[in-house]
Amino acid sequence: MFIKQLYTGCLSEAAYYIESNGEAAVIDPLRDIDAYLDLANQRQSRIKYIFETHFHADFISGHLELSKATGAPIVYGPGTDTKFPVHVAKDGEIFTIGEVSITVLHTPGHTLESSCYLLKDKSGKDHCIFTGDTLFVGDVGRPDLAQKEDEITMNDLAGMLYDSIHAKIFPLADDVIVYPAHGPGSSCGKNLGPATHSTVGEEKRSNYAMRSATKEDFIKEVTDGIAAPPLYFPINAKINKEGYESLENVLVQGMNTLTVEEVKQMMKEDLIILDTRKATEFIKGFVPGAVSIGLEGRFAEWAGSLLSFETPMILVTDPGKEKETIIRLARVGFDKVKGCLDGGFEAWKNAGEEIDIIIDLEADELMMDIPFDEKLVVVDVRRPTEFADGHLRNALNIPLNDLADPGTMSNLSAGPNGEEDQNIYIHCAGGYRSVIAASLLKRQGIHNIRNVAGGWGKIKLQEKADIIKESSVLN
């Protein structure tokens, strides 16, 4: 028996490859499937099944691509309804892979079709359970992602989740390994632990939700203080349920090279110019109106949260990063990349075209400016929980997620005659999110911006920093 977790850090996503005697299964594959095919080829195995724990909301699954490439059926849990062929398993149905078996455990709660997959070794002993978004390390799946047609409330799903965990997972032996679909940083739970696997016994002891004394306590625990899901979650869930364009076709279109003149012509229409270089490079110069989302961070997640899926996109990347960028965008459902600027930003600059910049300053410069600039506004784009744990007095908290909506800019507008009447100093925790935010503000016509290098990490170390803490509001 061979089990491999294939973890994608920028999405906090875990897919799994299970193999026995030349037969294999893949659980929750990403849209780009080469890693699974390569592994099967290297190990001279045949992928027999593709198991999905539920309709994922935070990424596009590779179920259709992998099924087409291997002929393996796609297996979902009870109650699944799709627009493409799948095997809808019964609760308790058993699938064999070589000398091992996988039992379907229907565990509604995160979604109605959510299911876990219990792997038994060749002796019939429970070895591990692939829990999807039902159970994480230190957390459980959020119960607020029901589709409108489900006509079910968040509390209803939370109650189902409690029943599922206690009926299907609690009875398992303490040494059964828990393999979830996500790790730390995922928005599919409230606060996932730092590890990417655990045991049933450890979760019984340490998982806040599993320690709840009653069903009512559990419902309160998992629903209180839950942040709104990213805007792209329902879009991705719908794509996973209905189907999508092949990645090969998306790559062919996206890898189209565009000259500076072609880009200038296309800019006359509504489109997004997405610059994926590092934030530290972007601020030195960029195509006016471009949005910065660097590949070095949680790239696909922020793209999905901030950009329109319907608007055509042109990419500006570091040389050689074009294909990686298109694939990572496709993982969250972006299929309208029309091409890449040939030669990247350097080509634009060398052609003598207009460029824009973002002024960077150090935290100590911000401290010196605060007492003397009446028009100074500090914009903190961290999450509300980060803000509550410590922020500058009078800082305005506009979480980066909210900047996708121009309506949130009401406090950062130009003066009545078009003049910019505020000096905006923007920061996040370390500098990645603040550059994204600054690029979005510039795209919306707000240009009097300073980016605080090093963000809160540097600001909180300043002796003159007037820091307010509101830790009592944290969950």
**Tens-place pLDDT, residues 187-219:** 999 889 999 999 999 999 999 888 888 999 999
Summarised one tens digit per residue, pLDDT across range 399-437 is 999 987 666 655 565 444 444 678 999 999 999 999 999
**Contact between 244 and 335 (Cβ < 8 Å):** yes
Which letter, b or e, does each residue of 286-318 get, where b requires 16 or more Cβ atoms within 10 Å of its Cβ? bbeebbbbbbebbbbbbbbbbbebeeebbbbbb
Contacts for 187 with CB less than 8 Å, ≥ 6 apart = 58, 142, 227, 229, 230, 233, 301
- Using CA atoms, how far apart are residues 283 and 350, in angstroms rounded to an integer? 17
> Which pLDDT score is estimated for 407?
62
pTM of the model: 0.92
Domains (ranges, CATH) in the chain? Answer: 2-234 (3.60.15.10), 245-350 (3.40.250.10), 359-473 (3.40.250.10)
Contacts for 159 with CB less than 8 Å, ≥ 6 apart = 109, 215, 219
Q: Which of 404, 399, 401 is nearest to 441 (CA)?
A: 404
**Contact between 314 and 329 (Cβ < 8 Å):** no
Tally of CA atoms within 13 A in the half-sphere of 139 that contains its CB: 27
> Which pLDDT score is estimated for 388?
94
Stretches where the chain sits below pLDDT 70 are 147-150, 405-420, 471-475
- Using CA atoms, how far apart are residues 33 and 111, in angstroms rounded to an integer? 25
Q: From residue 167, how far is each of 91, 154, 174 by CA, in Å? A: 13, 20, 15
Amino acid sitting at position 81 = D
- Using CA atoms, how far apart are residues 452 and 8, in angstroms rounded to an integer? 30
**Contact between 337 and 303 (Cβ < 8 Å):** no
> Which pLDDT score is estimated for 472?
42
> Which pLDDT score is estimated for 190?
86
- Using CA atoms, how far apart are residues 431 and 200, in angstroms rounded to an integer? 38
Contacts for 194 with CB less than 8 Å, ≥ 6 apart = 137, 183, 184
Q: Which of 50, 134, 120 is nearest to 92 (CA)?
A: 120
Q: Which of 222, 14, 226, 203 is nearest to 109 (CA)?
A: 222
> Which pLDDT score is estimated for 149?
63
**Contact between 115 and 104 (Cβ < 8 Å):** yes
**Contact between 366 and 459 (Cβ < 8 Å):** yes
Structure tokens at 286: 């960029």
- Using CA atoms, how far apart are residues 211 and 115, in angstroms rounded to an integer? 21
Q: Which of 374, 395, 412, 403 is nearest to 460 (CA)?
A: 395
Tell me the backbone φ, ψ of residue 40, rounded to 5 degrees: -65, -40
- Using CA atoms, how far apart are residues 351 and 260, in angstroms rounded to an integer? 8
- Using CA atoms, how far apart are residues 251 and 50, in angstroms rounded to an integer? 24
